[in-house]
Structure 1
Amino acid sequence: MKRFSKENLVPLSALTPKPLWQHFQTLCDIPRPSKHEAVLIKEITDWCGKNNINARQDEVGNLILSKPASKGKQDALPVVLQSHLDMVSQKTNESSHDFFTDSIIPQVQGDWVKATGTTLGADNGIGVAAILAVLGDATLVHGPIEALLTVDEEAGMSGAAGLAGDVLAGKVLLNLDTEEEGELYVGCAGGVDVNAHFQLQLEAAQDDCLAYEIKISGLQGGHSGIEIHKPLANGNQLLARLLESCLQQGTKILQVSGGTLRNAICRDAGATILIAAGTENSALQALNKLSEAMAVEFSGYETHLDITIEEVAAPAKVWCHEFSQKVVAALLACPHGVRRMSDQFDGVVETSNNLATLVQSETELTICCLPRSLMDSARDAQVAAIRAVFELAGARVEVMNAYPGWAPIKESPIMTLMQRVHGQCFGEPAKIQVIHAGLECGILGATYPHWQMISFGPMIRGAHSPDERVSISSVQKFWQYLLASLGTLADVKAL
């Protein structure tokens, strides 16, 4: 594993609360992309052994820790603290970072901590660090605590889905995986993967042609749930528009690519095209004109959008014309962004879709979408629309990895208690919210239906993108609120 010398690492332990930031530094040091959490789990397990904290793994790899109640608080309501161990792996085009071997390099910039050219992993590393800091502090007053640190949240929630219903004794779940200060979350969207598979239909490329590579880069990207309402450009959509212009000029298509993750808005996309010799000037002029128009469209938000077209070696084969028309038409017709806003919660997205990735192999083109909704019926309607678009174009469509939403409950005993604590800490009530993202609460609540659940966290911006950052002052408030909540729950025997 590649590590970095101390002089190149920002001393996060100098920040407060110190134990939390020390643990977060460990999370930065150890690579932890989805499905590759084993090294981190061993590190945490070893730390637990040194600190007399019980640690065990379940059958799917989740790490379950437990800490007895403080003296005199043994009869308090048992609490489960929950966060996920993995992080989204996104980097800038200039970064050579390897998420499987390299440490994250954090920087302190004013009130923010961010990484160097990559995602930071504050989602959900700050939650994990806070839980470990709670478990490691013998001076805190609390009832019985269990910690559930799940695996693979960002790539399918298989950890939460595989959790057995008889391994945790807690009655209240505090999920620490939301990203707005001063808000308590009582519901979340469900989602599902929709993958469209096209068998490539190729023909021989003509000899008297010139090949060009289109590259779209510099987009902000972001979380395809909590940032789907923003006026962010999607690289796959921009590419589809450029390819449609190509087809109007008689240009052939060889290859397309776009995006890297199902739950991140596409930042980069590209294609290889073939233009008949003698027509390249008009074809390139049309592409450049459209590129300039799109830059103007998004000039208020995507200030670093860059579209380049460079000549490359000519290929031996290209897509057939009819196949090209069907694929491009499907990409243009595929919904992306907000489908409907919630009727119950002001400013909250109810239903959306992310046109996430384009992946081409030697024989197949796969297009991945991630539709989400607060309502399973609306999610299924969105799936039907996406399926129809791609099946009409001749694709084989598979729907998989569905996970339920967390049905909002506007009034509950745990919410009343947490509101009271928030008022005591900050002099005002928290805002009650639902989130248009896939918290594990929906899955966990189905396995443990007796749990009372609530979610909160510090202010994080740019999640699922290299611009991810977390507010230092907000982490301090988050920590204060977490400790106050545990202290209050230590005096509660039932809700």
Structure 2
Amino acid sequence: MGAINQLFPQPLWQWFEQICAIPHPSGHEQALSLHIQSWAKQRGLAVIEDHVGNLIIRKPASAGMEDRKIVVLQAHLDMVPQKNADKVHDFVTDAIQPWIDGDWVKATGTTLGADNGIGMASALAILGSDEIKHGPLEVLLTIDEEAGMTGAFGLQAGMLEADILINTDSEQEGEIYMGCAGGVDAQISLALQWQAANATDLTFTLAIAGLKGGHSGVNIHLGRGNANKLLARFLAGHAAELGLALSAINGGSLRNAIPREAQCSFTVPAGMADLLQQRVAQYQAILQAELATAEPALKLTLSSSAAPAQTMQATAQATLINLLNSCPNGVIRMSDEITGVTESSLNVGVISTHEDSVTILCLIRSLIDSGRANIESTLQSLSDLAGAQVAFSGCYPGWKPDTSSAVMAIVNDTYESIYHKKPEIMVIHAGLECGLFKQHYPNMDMVSIGPTIRYPHGPDEMVNITTVGQYWTLLLAVLERIPAK
């Protein structure tokens, strides 16, 4: 880890090393927050922790720049906790272990937290510098962005004084974001009825693993396998043929991460064991052919397991399998207005079996409210047909693009002057917090930039070292070009 803090720019990477060392998954940001507060107070900076736990840190302008518009640099404190199945790691107590692989920084079997740790590190590095030129600054670090945007929802009007907000949560160098998708969580609950397990049946567990997973917005258009849907597809095709009786089905861990692993336990009559093995082998061959490029490490594992006391009653099981198999997933519609950008999508993120029900957690995203409402209606109809209950919660608005944005023009012109090429002006299919901030700060001018981060929300997450330097150079140049009030 020592080499990380020697990368360019050193102040940023030194902060990122500290961030990695302090556990900060969603809902457990307090230790990192307290560390930052203590450091800021030691430097004589004004620090506010609001009623939900967001941090606002203020720094006066550099000499001669006191008349500039106030800028707030914004990042979120939390990270997505995802790990490989064979990795022993407790995100609440264990540090992230970054390492350098060529021009990339990666983690060891876990998410890295470059989303949004690099952005947070850049803001803190600027606060700690006596040499960077800037006008009056605020830094806003929100809580729980990845799990529900609690911090952005809770930020109150009047807390910020800034005229301009620079969000640091984008993940592609050379792109300037001026809009993002909105979203809503959907929880489908299907009641279960149980029956005593047949004592003469054999019990197995079927697991799907080795998938890439990733961000359910940024990566949703890449055609990656969804472990929950792939497992449901097998059950829909072969449960009746095999006399299969489910005792549990579970998959995924976060509604905003494409599920990488899923598994189900079940019984089959002893005479069906050989056919079961054949069908699993055939299905693996089918998936490996279909997903050879998108999921080269995909693997199905069939293993014997302990006999359950009960299995799902046949009608309830059939309803569950049909519900899972027919549930939409992935890209629902591409944007007509913005080439190559997903308009609406759905991620079947988590399946979990409980004592009396199975729950399915989904995240709906859309650039337009009507697109989100259309998917909500689809899930409502599907749930009605299945006799299930669906609840929608945590709805957050999209960030509507403003083509007349002054700060976007500054970032665009600055980028072109530094790198002698035009950046891409983009809308991202992910839930940046800007849309929520606009509710209380409708006149604040906003833009989002960041370095190149690959595979966020999964253990393959990595950040490109060269682009971190480019992002830093751009950010500092933009701050110096902020106009007077």
Pair 1:87 & 2:79 matched: yes
Name the aligned partner's letter for residue 83 of structure 2: K
> C-alpha separation between the residues in 1 aligned to 2:147 and 2:138?
24
Residue of structure 2 in register with 1:44 after alignment: 36
> C-alpha separation between the residues in 2 aligned to 1:41 and 1:250?
53
Name the aligned partner's letter for residue 493 of structure 1: A
Report the secondary structure of 1:222's partner residue.
coil
Pairwise CA distance, 1:199:
1.7
Residue of structure 1 in register with 2:149 after alignment: 157
- Per-residue displacement from partner, 1:159-179 (whole Å, max 9, x unpaired)? 000001011100100000000
> C-alpha separation between the residues in 2 aligned to 1:86 and 1:279?
48
- Per-residue displacement from partner, 1:288-331 (whole Å, max 9, x unpaired)? 21222112211122111110111112111100111111111111
Name the aligned partner's letter for residue 201 of structure 2: C
- Per-residue displacement from partner, 1:1-29 (whole Å, max 9, x unpaired)? xxxxxxxx343111110000000001000
Pairwise CA distance, 1:73:
1.5
Pair 1:229 & 2:221 matched: yes
| Mapping of residues 32-431 of structure 1, within 5 Å | 32-244=24-236, 245-431=238-424
Residue of structure 1 in register with 2:471 after alignment: 478
Conserved 8 A contact 1:45-1:55: yes
**CA RMSD of the aligned region, Å?**
1.0
Deviates more, 1:146-155 or 1:308-317: 308-317
Conserved 8 A contact 2:280-2:300: no
Name the aligned partner's letter for residue 196 of structure 2: A
> C-alpha separation between the residues in 2 aligned to 1:488 and 1:282?
69
Conserved 8 A contact 1:195-1:398: yes
> C-alpha separation between the residues in 2 aligned to 1:300 and 1:337?
17
Name the aligned partner's letter for residue 312 of structure 2: W
Report the secondary structure of 1:239's partner residue.
helix
> C-alpha separation between the residues in 2 aligned to 1:10 and 1:114?
14
Pairwise CA distance, 1:75:
1.5
Q: Which 5+ residue runs of structure 1 have no aligned equivalent?
A: 1-8
> C-alpha separation between the residues in 1 aligned to 2:404 and 2:317?
52
Pairwise CA distance, 1:390:
2.2
> C-alpha separation between the residues in 1 aligned to 2:201 and 2:191?
25
Report the secondary structure of 1:49's partner residue.
helix
Q: Which 5+ residue runs of structure 2 have no aligned equivalent?
A: none
| TM-score normalised per structure 2 | 0.98
Conserved 8 A contact 1:175-1:455: yes
> C-alpha separation between the residues in 2 aligned to 1:476 and 1:283?
53
Conserved 8 A contact 2:249-2:263: yes
Pair 1:436 & 2:425 matched: no
> C-alpha separation between the residues in 2 aligned to 1:45 and 1:314?
53
| Mapping of residues 3-42 of structure 1, within 5 Å | 9-42=1-34
Conserved 8 A contact 2:176-2:449: yes
Conserved 8 A contact 2:169-2:450: yes
> C-alpha separation between the residues in 1 aligned to 2:462 and 2:279?
39
> C-alpha separation between the residues in 1 aligned to 2:38 and 2:406?
37
Residue of structure 2 in register with 1:5 after alignment: none
> C-alpha separation between the residues in 1 aligned to 2:438 and 2:365?
18
- How many pairs does the alignment contain? 484
> C-alpha separation between the residues in 2 aligned to 1:315 and 1:97?
29
Conserved 8 A contact 1:352-1:371: yes
- Per-residue displacement from partner, 1:265-294 (whole Å, max 9, x unpaired)? 000000001101222222332232122211
> C-alpha separation between the residues in 1 aligned to 2:447 and 2:110?
30
Conserved 8 A contact 2:180-2:398: yes
Conserved 8 A contact 1:246-1:287: no
Conserved 8 A contact 2:222-2:294: no
> C-alpha separation between the residues in 2 aligned to 1:320 and 1:263?
31
> C-alpha separation between the residues in 2 aligned to 1:116 and 1:436?
28
Change (3 A) 1:287 1:246: farther
- Per-residue displacement from partner, 1:454-487 (whole Å, max 9, x unpaired)? 0000000010000000011000000000000000
> C-alpha separation between the residues in 2 aligned to 1:243 and 1:276?
16
- Which one of the candidate residues 488, 491, 495 is aligned to 2:481? 488
Pairwise CA distance, 1:398:
0.6
